[in-house]
């Protein structure tokens, strides 16, 4: 198969779909790999490194898309990239379609086979291709939150860990999954007073056992969320409904109860955000102030640490890329129902039920198209 790796186009997105090591595996398996010039530079991989492992460098994205049978990316394709997709071409990347009607419409019209990293599952029911970036985003969240709390950034002027004789900042994390637990790890390490809210009693028990009582846990109800948000210096939104739009847990009215200069960090922004007042921001302009509250809603947080993120992502995606390239998308999905769960759009049909539900579109089970 001819596999193409374009240069990412999102603001300050330095990750790349495949590392030289991953490409070497594909070339050894008999596949051809094309890399857009400069695609790996942001993650520290030169064109020469790609050439040494057998990749062919292509100067522009249009030629790369025209040449490739499968496109492997990191972030969702831009409108320009979506216009270059063709029928039966495979697109393998993060899509986050539920809150993005224009992208869904373009992918449906393209006739391409679009597989989303974030809905591929594992035998345990986990999301193995989302987990690495959730880990990175979770670990970044307290860092960016601590920066936003600085007075010069519009924050309250509170040090996350406090100092002797002065209380640390109160950090509230909504969601005790992968992102939330990693956010808790870093926030605790920085000396903050950390409380995690989740609706799952099992998740809260796992957190209690993992952190040996060093953090507080609460069952997430509207009342507990309202109470904790009011007391917080930093709220980290880390909720996820696989493939679906994130639930809005913090309302505009709740902002009025918070102390001015408090900070919201919305890790869920790729799926629409879990704060009513969230809107996507960029690494160029990461925050805005609304109602006196600083909002950080960067839609590609892991792009800030591109090398770490790229290596972590490739560790997870490479087996699936190899399967798709070697077997073709239909056989690979037929033999692996967990990869089949990643099918979001197939030949003009929406095959991810949460996406179809969010956008009032017809849902066609992927099994029908694979079989």
Active site residues: 96, 270
What is the DSSP annotation of 331-362?
HHHHH-HHHHTTEEEETTEE--HHHHHHHT--
Distance from the Cα of residue 12 to its chain's centroid: 15
- Interatomic CA distance for residues 170 and 173, integer angstroms: 10
- Interatomic CA distance for residues 111 and 109, integer angstroms: 6
Contact 91, 113 (CB under 8 A): yes
Which alpha helices (DSSP H) does 39-177 contain, by range?
Answer: 47-52, 61-67, 79-82, 101-110, 131-148
- Interatomic CA distance for residues 352 and 103, integer angstroms: 14
- Interatomic CA distance for residues 62 and 81, integer angstroms: 8
- Interatomic CA distance for residues 265 and 258, integer angstroms: 14
Tokens found for residue 338: 């967990």
Tokens found for residue 8: 């990412």
């Amino acid at each position: 198969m001819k596999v193409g790796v374009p240069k990412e186009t999102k603001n300050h997105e330095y990750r790349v779909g495949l590392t030289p090591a991953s490409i070497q595996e594909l070339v050894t398996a008999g596949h051809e790999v094309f890399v857009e010039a400069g695609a790996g530079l942001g993650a520290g991989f030169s064109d020469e490194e790609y050439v040494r492992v057998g990749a062919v460098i292509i100067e522009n994205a249009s030629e790369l898309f025209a040449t490739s049978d499968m496109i492997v990316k990191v972030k969702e394709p831009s409108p320009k990239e979506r216009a270059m997709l063709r029928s039966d071409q495979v697109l393998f990347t993060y899509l986050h379609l539920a809150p993005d009607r224009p992208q869904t419409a373009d992918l449906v019209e393209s006739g391409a086979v679009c597989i989303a990293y974030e809905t591929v599952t594992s035998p345990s029911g986990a999301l193995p291709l989302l987990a690495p970036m959730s880990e990175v985003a979770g670990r970044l969240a307290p860092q960016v939150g601590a920066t936003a709390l600085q007075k010069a950034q519009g924050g309250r002027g509170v040090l996350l860990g406090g100092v002797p004789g002065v209380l640390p900042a109160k950090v509230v994390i909504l969601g005790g999954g992968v992102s939330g637990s990693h956010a808790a790890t870093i926030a605790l390490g920085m000396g903050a007073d950390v409380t995690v809210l989740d609706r799952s009693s099992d998740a809260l028990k796992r957190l209690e056992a993992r952190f040996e009582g060093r953090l507080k846990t609460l069952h997430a109800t509207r009342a507990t969320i309202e109470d904790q948000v009011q007391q917080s210096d930093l709220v980290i939104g880390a909720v996820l409904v696989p493939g679906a739009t994130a639930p809005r847990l913090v309302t505009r009215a709740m902002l009025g109860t918070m102390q001015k200069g408090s900070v919201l960090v919305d890790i869920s922004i790729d799926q629409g955000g879990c704060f009513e007042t969230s809107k996507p921001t960029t690494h160029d302009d990461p925050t805005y102030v609304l109602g006196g509250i600083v909002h950080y809603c960067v839609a590609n947080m892991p792009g800030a640490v591109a090398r770490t993120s790229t290596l972590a992502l490739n560790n997870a995606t490479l087996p699936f890329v190899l399967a798709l390239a070697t077997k073709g998308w239909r056989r690979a999905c037929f033999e692996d129902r967990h990869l089949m769960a990643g099918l979001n759009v197939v030949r003009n049909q929406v095959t991810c039920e949460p996406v179809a539900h969010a956008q009032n579109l017809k849902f066609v089970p992927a099994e029908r198209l694979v079989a």
